[in-house]
Amino acid sequence: MNLFSLFAHAEPLTVGSPAPLVSAPDQDGKSVVFGDVYAKGITLVYFYPKAATPGCTKEACSLRDSYAGLAGKGIEILGVSRDKPEAQKAFRDDQHLPFALIADTDGKVAEAFHVPMIPVVGIPMRQSFLIKDGKIAWISLNAQTSGAAAEVSKALETLK
């Protein structure tokens, strides 16, 4: 990755855009095909900078603590960061997260979703997307940490 690519910004995806059809390994190294997940129902794809850091832990635990309610509404959740599968697995296990964490080590998932990287360190900005019927239905370009589940729940109400 060169210095120029760290500062490159693509235009954000917009509501109504087709959801990116990408695949990447999860915390267990198993390939996750995003299109297959979208087919199960509304999907939350949330990007976080780094596993096991304070803000990312708050965000993941907010979603974990509200998981039963979100899953009851038919939501599938995929958390995405540049961490390796081993780090994703440790984070998932340590925090008892009931959803998959995607190891976007090459940044291709973030690139497909047009998620910018934090300059100099090259990790994704915190952003969230709801996908419904294969299209982007909601975007948070400034996603919450401890309020992540409340933010997503509120967005879900607008999709009904």
Residues annotated as catalytic (active site), given as ranges? 56
Q: How far apart are CA 120 and CA 18, in angstroms?
A: 30
Task: At 142, list the tokens.
Answer: 């400034």
Q: How far apart are CA 27 and CA 42, in angstroms?
A: 21
Q: How far apart are CA 49 and CA 52, in angstroms?
A: 10
